[in-house]
Structure 1
Amino acid sequence: MKKRNLLITTALVGTMTLGGIAPTTFAHDALGSDINKGERHVFNLEEIERLTASFKDGSKNVSNFREAAAVQISELNGVQNNTADVYAHKGYAYLGTHTAAGGNGGVRVFDLQNPSNPVEVAVFADDIPHTWQEKVIVKSVNTPHFKGDLAAVSIQQTSRNNVNRPDSKGGVLLYDVTDPTNPQKLGFYELDRRITGTHELYLTTQGNRALVLTSSPYADYYTHGEDQDFQIIDVTDPTNPDKLWGWDPRELEEVAEDFNGYHWNSPDGKTRPVFNHSVITDNNAQHAYVSMWDLGTVIFDIKDPENPVYLGRTDYRDDQKGAAHSAALAKGGTVLIETREVANPIGDGYESAYGYTRIFDIKDKSNPVLLSEFTTDLTYDIPDSGNVSTFAKTVHDPKVHGNTLYLSYYSGGVVMVDITDPANPTQIGQYTPEQADVWGVFVDRNYILASDMGQGLKVLTRGQQGNGNGR
């Protein structure tokens, strides 16, 4: 395929321009929740100045990282897609794509042999019409049926169950990417067309067994109980994926009696949205951490993936919107990082705040204990009037490397936090490119990757490497 030349942008700017954020994305099919489906707020001059001031210091402080490269993904069939999440494996970056220009942007593969000059070398998973491919996880797998590098890709319909799009369907695509420049399709775990698809997922292994854990929001609701929000799929044979187990939030005893159409009449007197947004596992696939929005992060023992056991969940103050979006683990799996994507900071009976991060001690997984809450200058920066709903001011995804937490923050770029003491998280750096719209972040030993929805792939490297634009 056609390779693209490097596009270098100004790095680590001291100010930030927000007026160019395009209203092209939605994060969730929220089924009546307070999520505004990702509509971008148009900032006025006063707001831009306030945001700019709040980021000046952070943008200059990126610890010992500097921007090495910024490169846009190539056009596909004459269409410029937006990037979604980002993952790295064996020196290659894998970028999912979002819904701009109709979706079907596939997964983009970049060779990072020279981090200052990433080269796009392949596109895959773009063959199902009217879908988008947000999340990709790549792992080295060795099973009786497959040995090599396996990629699992989330597939979502851009218009659920549309009678005019009979070939559109959601689920999980599986590819052999042992040769990243020549991905080979292996299998497809297909969901009922009534379900939008798989929003996020995680690929893991247990010995010589490979598993995909999926998040399919409102699957039970859309299929009238025939499918579930959280599923565990056996992909030991990637050409023949097989469902092992499924779970729906109404199965939780404390929720069941007060659960109605994916809205929970919680004990605090509020009607809270509950759906499965994301899932991760620990390194040896002993536990699953399921982000169930206002039900919190739900923890399962999955040592026996055909018979998982519910252990516990995080909880919220009565005045706190839940919005458990994603999770990460720290301190050998004894600390849970929970990011909350609150786009609308205003609500009757709730605190006025955009989404921020919570950190839990989970040594006892049946009883997560809140250690701290990490906020930024954006968290309480709420306009006095006008449209206050904007994803630009909420935290998004977390990643952990050692004692450093990396948070993707839309217009805030990437925020770096010292969690040596999880009870006292401290911001130590921030990377904020111009017109930032950072969806995902991934941390490798040699670099940090950020996926900017409108600008493509950003690569940060350590020390003196890079193009010299850093600080």
Structure 2
Amino acid sequence: MRTLRTLSLSVLAAATAAVTMAGPALACPPGDDDAAHATETHTTGAAVQRDVATRQIRSVPLPPSSAVKGVRLAAALPDAKGAISLGFLTYGRRTVMYVSGTFGLKTYDVTDPAAPKALGTLSMPGMWETEDTEADPRRKLVFLARDPRAFNGNTHTGESGIYVVSLADPAKPVQLAYEKVPAGHTTSCVDDCRYLWTGGPARADWMPADWGGRPVWVTDVRDPRHPRTFPQPIELARNDGKTDYVHDIQVDAAGVTWASGAGGVRGYWTHGRRWDPVRRVTRVARAWDPVPYAGGGVSEVAAPSKFLHNSFRPVGSTAGEAPGHGDLVYVTEEAFNPGCADDGRLVIASLRGSYGGEGWRSTPDRPFRLRAVGTWSVAGQEGSRTDTDDCSAHYFDVRHGILAQSFYTQGTRLLDVRDPAHPRQIAYYRPADAMSWAPYWHAGYVFVADNNRGVDVLRPEVR
């Protein structure tokens, strides 16, 4: 989640590219022969870079005071300025990237990741916020969350909801439906996109006064032209017994749905017959009546704000992407405090001790907390700016033990998390005009949704 605060940063109109900054050689993971050749240099003009797709040398302009190490810029899409989120859909051998942001929705052919080609646009100027925009890969549907602050609204009285957009023809995005929903900061697929869980932001005036934020409303999108939202919200009493802000939803490879926000991260089953450790019965889990699985708050030593932004649990088909084998959950804390040192961080926590419903019985008097295994903050790290206190952690994506994470004006960082107790930075990409919201691994590249720059396509030189 990002509030509508502004920063006085320059925005390049021309295509931008990677720049490297003086410093020691890159500390590479064992066996990383290619990365051993990565070095840093000063530049304020242009960097010569090899185009991965064409193998031609090209020169690209660079903003001064940028810091880049261990990655190359393969492509830049400044026409997507205002980007907040992106994702990928396949059409036979063709790959299409959809990008959501303040402009609405844009599509690109990224079959060649180093040479994206613009396809279509669904224009929605003033849209907000579309974080973590998700798609149904089978039906080629995209679901856009409308925050109450969209189109000059506000959290007190503004309207929120969900737009259902068809990308059957990715060059011609078509709005199929709009469903008004009491929440609208993020909306996420559950049960193979048959249902959506929508949460956040801060409570509206008509909501109970003791709520700290909006919980989750469930929407049936089996008929995409006629969405239907269940009247009663779920994921209540999540912050030591208080109903609070649910920020985002992630579904792991085992099918457990994780709700992150104020008070921690809690996982639920949304299908099948499951043991309910809170009710102490075996019952059928439904998207609108889920069964608790595990999770809870995270130690305030690791995440002082208690606001967990998003999560990832490596299990099943993703177990090879990061350590954990189901017992670790990777989460980010989003917090904007004076000075970088106390801003949000990456936290890797253990789920052990939470499988008995402990996270649902936590109270201020008898709090339950997950144990932090490892943490990482951008404060004081190589490549970081020292002239800003905007250092909060944001979205991340993991592939083969390398976690790419956005840190707003501090850019995109690549962390080796193969030892989860000691995450370490191995590369970074911090343009001077960065406003990095979310990185996504795809075909060996990292696609960065940057609210100032558009989309930058990075080719990591580390493994």
TM-score, normalization: structure 1?
0.67
Distance 2:231 2:267 in 1: 15
Cα distance change of structure 1 residues 211 and 322 upon mapping to structure 2, 3 Å threshold: same
- Contact 1:174–1:188 (8 Å) recurs in 2: yes
Give the C-alpha shift of residue 114 in structure 1: 2.9
Whichever residue aligns with residue 115 of structure 2, its letter is N
**1:120-199 superposed matches below 5 A:** 120-124=118-122, 126=124, 131-135=127-131, 136-141=133-138, 148-158=139-149, 169-192=159-182, 197-199=183-185
Deviations 1:56-101 (A, max 9, x none): 5xx2223xxx210112126xxxxxx522122222222222213xxx
- Alignment match, 1:339: 332
SS in structure 1 at match of 2:298: coil
CA distance in 2, matches of 1:216, 1:320: 20
What is the alpha-carbon distance in structure 2 between the residues aligned to residue 93 and residue 160 of structure 1? Answer: 25
| 1:95 pairs with 2:99 | yes
What's the offset of the Cα at 1:118? 1.7
Check whether the contact 1:88–1:442 (CA below 8 A) recurs between aligned residues. Answer: no
**Aligned pair 1:297/2:299, yes or no?**
no
| C-alpha separation in 2, matches of 1:461 and 1:9 | 15
Q: Is the 8 A contact 1:154 1:173 kept in 2?
A: yes
**Counterparts in 2 of 1:8 and 1:389: CA distance versus 1, 3 Å:** closer
Distance 1:335 1:244, change over 3 A: farther
For the 8 Å contact 2:148–2:184, the answer to whether it is kept is no
1:360 aligns with 2:349: yes
Contact 1:106-1:125 at 8 Å conserved across structures = yes
Q: Answer whether contact 2:105 2:122 (CA < 8 A) is retained.
A: yes
Letter in 1 for 2:398: V
Unaligned runs of 5+ in 2: 1-12, 23-40, 43-63, 272-284, 320-325, 359-369
Note if contact 2:295-2:351 (Cα within 8 Å) is conserved in structure 1: no
Q: Do the aligned residues in 2 keep the contact of 1:7 with 1:71 (CA within 8 Å)? A: no
CA drift of 1:432 comes to 2.0
Answer yes or no: is 1:240 the counterpart of 2:226: yes
> In the alignment, what sits opposite 2:79?
73
Distance (Å, rounded) in 2 between the aligned partners of 1:223 and 1:456: 36
Separation in 1, partners of 2:116, 2:260: 33
Q: CA deviation at 1:382?
A: 11
Aligned equivalents of 1:379 and 1:323: distance in 2?
23
Distance of 1:462 and 1:250 partners within structure 2: 41
Residue 12 of structure 1 aligns to which amino acid in structure 2?
V
Partners of 1:379 and 1:221 lie apart in 2 by 41
Q: How do 1:48-447 residues align onto structure 2 when only pairs under 5 Å count?
A: 59-62=68-71, 66-73=72-79, 82-90=82-90, 91-98=95-102, 105-124=103-122, 126=124, 131-135=127-131, 136-141=133-138, 148-158=139-149, 169-192=159-182, 197-206=183-192, 210-219=194-203, 222-224=206-208, 229-244=215-230, 246-247=232-233, 251-252=237-238, 254-256=240-242, 274-284=244-254, 286-293=255-262, 295-303=263-271, 304=285, 305-310=287-292, 311-317=294-300, 320-331=304-315, 332=319, 333-345=326-338, 353-362=342-351, 365-366=354-355, 368-378=370-380, 390-391=389-390, 393-447=391-445
Instruction: Return the offset for 1:181.
Output: 0.9
Any stretches of 5+ residues in structure 1 without a counterpart? Answer: 1-5, 18-48, 75-80, 99-104, 142-147, 257-261, 263-273, 464-469
SS of residue paired to 2:241: helix
CA distance in 1, matches of 2:234, 2:403: 30
Q: Deviations over 1:324-349 (max 9, x none)?
A: 11222335344311111221146xxx
